[in-house]
Structure 1
Amino acid sequence: MALSRARRDRGIDYWPGFVDALSTFLLSIIFMLSVFMLAQYFLQRDIAGKDDAMVRLQAQIAELGELLRLERGQRATLQEGLAAITATLGATEEDRRRLQGLLDDTRAEAGSAAGRAGTLESQLAEQRRNAQAAITQIELLNQQIAALRRQLAALEDALQVSESRDRESQVRITDLGRRLNLALAQRVQELSRYRSEFFGRLREILAERADIRVVGDRFVFGSEVFFGSSQAEIEAGGRAELDKIAEALLQLSRDIPADIPWVLRVDGHTDARPISGGGRFRTNWDLSAARAIAVVQYLITKGIPPQRLVAAGFGEFQPIDQGESTEALARNRRIELRLTDR
């Protein structure tokens, strides 16, 4: 009787310890789940970074690994406690069955915790892969930046070479321009020499004509030498004078080098009096141009190349005498010859 009471008293003493151990185990699992959920939340929130996120991720991995290690240690400790409790439970069959049920529940919870731990490990592995992919992308971007820097350096080198070539080309162009200007100046000097020779010959040929003057670089003929009043047909006396000019010009053209672009310009001028009547010409401009063209066409018949002749009409707009007397008007009616270049 006393022995049975003692056994019942001893069984009642085991039960509070078992309940405390089981409560501690459940609280540990709940704490671990809370820690795991909190860690998963912060892990998902901070995963978006790159270099800084990698540092935080590595720290979290280390922390979770430590937590996992602690959980496994606690699970082993709980399993050892359960084993000890199982070994010590031998009071009654009813207590054993209840303890067995509690043990099965505990094992189920432990299995669930192990499954969640495995899920967490899978998530950690996925995070590691994502982190590695981010590192790979960063390395690829660094390589692309390095390639762009090399291309930029190559472009800068090419630009420097191009600028150097441009400077050299500019120097050559400047030198070519200087030489061209020098050559043109020499051609102008040569043309001036031939112009002086031509004028000298014309002075000798036309020395007896008082109505022919030299004004600057031009020979000035009164229109009456070649044309009748308001007419553009060359008269016989005018043709004789043009024959002399054509002969002198032909002799000179044999001496002028072919590369000198000389021309004989024939300018027609009238006085300021308007043309009256219903004749061929409506304005003085028409009359002056027609007279210059008539002289050019006649010189062509005498063998002067057409490409060496220019005809221009100025009407009454380039007078050499501003007066309105008969003499002033006569001086303004004129044909001018000028040896020049194109």
Structure 2
Amino acid sequence: MARRRSRNDANIWPGFVDGLSTLLLVVMFVLSIFVVAQFYLGEELASKDSELARLTARINSLAEQLGLAESERDALLSQVLSLEDTIDAKEAELAAAIVALGTAESAVAASAEELEAEKALSDEQKSEIATLNAQLAALRRQLASLQEALEAAEAKDEAQQAQIENLSQRLNAALAQKVQELAEVRSRFFEALRNALGDRDDIRVVGDRFVFESDILFGSCSATISDAGQNELEKLARVLLDIRGQIPTEINWVLRVDGHADQEPLGPACQARFRDNLQLSSERSMSVVRYLAGAGVPERRLVAAAFGDDQPLVSGFDAASLAQNRRIEFKLTER
């Protein structure tokens, strides 16, 4: 029995060794496969890491480029907006041009219609046009004739204007001569009047006027000529009547009588008769004119004027100054 068990045991062992060898080979094969796979996996991982680093650098570069691209995008966007505005403006111009073209086409169509209408004119209308053209030609001839007449009239007017200027020069010369003659007559009148009145301090020549102080002719606050004043005015009237024959008849002369008052306001008693100094000076000049007319001087040769206290000869309110400013002035002049 022991032998049989030993033989069986010996028969089992080789099979066990074979199985174990086979298992070991399988394990060795698996380990080899694992090592090889690990090697290739390591190589692959290293390659992936390198690729990852490269991709990371690429991503960073792309990020920088993207930042620049955004600036460029904004600039391009502005250009696009500007181009859109330009396109809108061009479209508006194009629309306006289309409208203008339509208007022009309408005008051309209208002109074409008018042309067709003209071509379709009847013989009667053509005759009327010919008549109108003839009338127009006649009107043009009349216009030319009127133009000639106008030019002739202008030439005549220039000749008349030259004559007028010549007559004006002659008239001015004649007037200057008459003024000179009147000045000479005035000088003789003043000389004769001075001789007739004698040398008096209260009667004097101022410029082209003979000046009488009012106290010679009137009392205080009175427009009635005194007896002494009447004597002096008689002398003046005689001189004027004697001298008037020496004045050329062409000169329309007058003796202007100007009344002046002093600057003193009228007192209560005087205000009962005269409103103010202007009325007093006016009444006095009128009294002188009426007296000279009664003495034989033609009324048409006498003119009365009044200036109140507006034109004093001297300044001051003393008695002598006031007496000089109260005056009657006589001026031989033209009307």
**Band of TM-score, shorter chain:** 0.5 to 0.7
Give the alignment of 1:13-28 within 5 angstroms.
none
How far has the Cα of 1:257 moved from its partner?
2.4
1:171-209 residue CA offsets vs partner (Å, 9 max, x unmatched): 122122111111111110110010000001111112232
Give the alignment of 1:224-235 within 5 angstroms.
224-235=215-226
Partner of 2:182: 191
SS of the counterpart of 2:205? strand
Partner of 2:256: 265
1:4-52 residue CA offsets vs partner (Å, 9 max, x unmatched): xxxxxxxxxxxxxxxxxxxxxxxxxxxxxxxxxxxxxxxxx898444xx
SS of the counterpart of 2:212? strand
Q: State the distance in 1 between where 2:253 and 2:303 align.
A: 10
Partner of 1:238: 229
Q: State the distance in 2 between where 1:208 and 1:132 align.
A: 107
**Residue 203 (structure 2) pairs with residue 212 (structure 1):** yes
Q: State the distance in 2 between where 1:240 and 1:271 align.
A: 24
Q: State the distance in 2 between where 1:335 and 1:46 align.
A: 91
**Residue 330 (structure 2) pairs with residue 340 (structure 1):** no
Q: State the distance in 2 between where 1:154 and 1:232 align.
A: 73
How far has the Cα of 1:170 moved from its partner?
1.5
Amino acid at match of 1:321: V
Give the alignment of 1:192-341 within 5 angstroms.
192-277=183-268, 278-341=271-334
SS of the counterpart of 1:337? strand
Q: State the distance in 1 between where 2:169 and 2:154 align.
A: 22
How far has the Cα of 1:242 moved from its partner?
0.6
1:99-129 residue CA offsets vs partner (Å, 9 max, x unmatched): xxxxxxxxxxxxxxxxxxxxxxxxxxxxxxx
SS of the counterpart of 1:135? helix
Q: State the distance in 2 between where 1:274 and 1:169 align.
A: 59
Q: Tell me which moved more, 188-197 or 207-216.
A: 207-216
1:146-191 residue CA offsets vs partner (Å, 9 max, x unmatched): 1121121122112112212221221122122111111111110110
Q: TM-score, normalised by structure 1?
A: 0.62
How far has the Cα of 1:262 moved from its partner?
1.1
Q: Structure 1 46/158 Cα, relative in aligned 2: closer, same or farther at 3 Å?
A: closer
SS of the counterpart of 2:158? helix
1:42-86 residue CA offsets vs partner (Å, 9 max, x unmatched): xxx898444xx38xxxxxxxxxxxxxxxxxxxxxxxxxxxxxxxx
Give the alignment of 1:96-111 within 5 angstroms.
none
Give the alignment of 1:65-214 within 5 angstroms.
131-214=122-205
Q: Structure 1 208/136 Cα, relative in aligned 2: closer, same or farther at 3 Å?
A: closer
SS of the counterpart of 1:220? strand
SS of the counterpart of 2:128? helix
SS of the counterpart of 1:170? helix
Structure of larger gyration radius: 2
Q: Structure 1 295/140 Cα, relative in aligned 2: closer, same or farther at 3 Å?
A: same
1:216-235 residue CA offsets vs partner (Å, 9 max, x unmatched): 11111111000001100000
Amino acid at match of 1:224: D
SS of the counterpart of 1:200? helix
Q: State the distance in 1 between where 2:206 and 2:167 align.
A: 36
Runs of 4+ in 1 over 3 A off after TM superposition: 45-50
Count how many residue pairs are aligned between Structure 1 and Structure 2.
221
Q: State the distance in 1 between where 2:223 and 2:322 align.
A: 18
Amino acid at match of 1:219: F
SS of the counterpart of 2:321? helix
SS of the counterpart of 1:339? strand
Percent sequence identity over matched residues?
A: 49
Q: State the distance in 1 between where 2:114 and 2:325 align.
A: 101
Q: Structure 1 298/47 Cα, relative in aligned 2: closer, same or farther at 3 Å?
A: closer
Q: TM-score, normalised by structure 2?
A: 0.63
Q: State the distance in 1 between where 2:328 and 2:195 align.
A: 19
Partner of 2:70: none
